Structure 1
Amino acid sequence: MADGTVLVGASGKIGGRAVPGTEHAELRVLRRRRPWQLFSAALTLAVLATVAWSLVNNPNIQIDLVREYIFAPIILKGVLVTIYLTVVAIAVGVAGGVVLAIMRLSDNVVLSGIARFYVWIFRGTPMLVQLIFWAYAGAVYPMISIGVPFTGTVFWSAQTADLINPMMAALLALTFNQVAYASEIIRAGILSVDHGQSEAAHSLGMGPLRTMRRIVLPQAMRTIIPPMGNDVISMLKTTSLVSVIGGQDLMTTVQFIYSENFQVIPLLIVASLWYLFLTSLLAFPQSWLERRYGRGVALQNRGRV
């Protein structure tokens, strides 16, 4: 068999050949011994243990400094800012992505064209460029005003530099970019649902919005959750680019500290440990959502077996 097992039947034959002493044996499974699997696993563990030991005992890493800064208040503040940026960007990005995906799938040429143009702009330019652009938006529009167009009447105005500080620039760049990527993921999920589901809902008197909310999106979640979960983890790591505009996130804080004490490697290890911890936490809700929205498929596949 493909999994390396051998079936011995009541006839006492394997592959048509009789096996002595098995004339009256019951059906059982014999697993082939694979000593190379145990050897490769032991070798891998030995290599990992050696690497871990060399890192812990390497004086250049300075484990004492890592322990000193890993839970330092200034580091924890940067971690909270990173979490805040991620949560806001994902929440707004998913909400805007649903709207943009529906616009993209619309028969209205104007709405579909706007959605295509938006995705083309924000998915086609680097995240770093977008961050710097928002940080220096005041160079393009020094003043932001609200009034009657083409008449010169202004009801409210303020300087752009006062409104778009580094934190606001980071939020704008991350959310606008996330909307573009989330919309494509959601659009793919909607397209994965059979069109007959929508037709059946319409035959029952459901409107387009209700059909989308009650029928299409719940089924599309099975396709949306895995790539969206990866996108959330990617967004968490992308927040490190905010350091180029001084957004006070984890990476910005780490760079500020090692620019003063010149302990680059220990502080980069601190940042890496926090990013690993946060991304590991995000894997749990993703797994739970995948199980929840994949229950019907799991039961169906189990029935086939």
Structure 2
Amino acid sequence: MKTMVALPLVALIAIPVALYALSDSKTEAKAPSEIAAEAPAGDWEDIPASDLLVMETAEGGQAIIQLAPEFAPVHVDNIRKIAAARWWDGTSINRVQDNYVVQWGDATEKKTLPIGVVAEPPEEYTRGTKGLEIEWLGWPDPYAKKTGFAKGGWPVGSDGKAVWLTHCYGMVGVGRNLAPDTGSGAELYAVIGHAPRHLDRNIATVGRVIAGIEFLASRPRGTAALGFYDKPGERIAIGSLKPMSAMEPGAQSAWQVLSGKSFAAYREARANRRDPFFNVPAGGADVCNIPVPVRRKPV
């Protein structure tokens, strides 16, 4: 015969109260998107207009690229000069490899680079930590000793001595041949799939697509080796790729990236989802699974 255990009245009352409190806490937890949407104006950091490029395809699609001069200054300087010279106008998207990258440039590889472009830049695959403000994540990473975000929301990895931009979705890198070639910056690619982190420290990463990635990622996949388009007619013509400042005044736009306490709360929410749909918080997040919120600056 089972023994009946008498619980104190306070325990009987406390149990449902505790369950209610847990349920109520879960209901009140905000999703990452809500944190970004409710962030105060002071937690949105302006992106320098001088770091913005605008790519427009011949049929009208537009993508906006933010450059990262702090990480690859010579390559970025090359890219600024190439864009200012309108060198990319009339070139094409030549490669779209599924779950990997979309790549563009001069398919003939015969077009002369603008004056002042350094044809063989130094290896700008990593840089020192001095001068960088970095907020480190506290979770293990298979590709780096530690990962985090540099000022401006740039995802980075580090071995404790050097720092590098990580190949997250939307990041932009420089196409190159075998070493010692480092790529001039005339041929660029954007990541459109699961983060190919094995490329970290092997290629100059020079920026990210902050708007319009869908116009790149949704292209038909190339059928030749490595996703290149097999026939010239398959290539997607680039109408223009120029600095934001070269756009007509009415077409220029200003952009901001989430920062401060709101970005810290956003990172924590990405790592530990406690909003109503989720039952088990993950306890951590890959640096590339914390996409940095970017918005068009309110007028």
Question: How high is the TM-score relative to the length of structure 1?
Answer: 0.23
Structure with higher Rg: it is: 1
Q: When you count helix as a share of all residues, which structure comes out higher? A: 1
Structure with greater contact order relative to length (CA < 8 Å, sep ≥ 6): 2
Q: When you count strand as a share of all residues, which structure comes out higher? A: 2
Question: How high is the TM-score relative to the length of structure 2?
Answer: 0.23
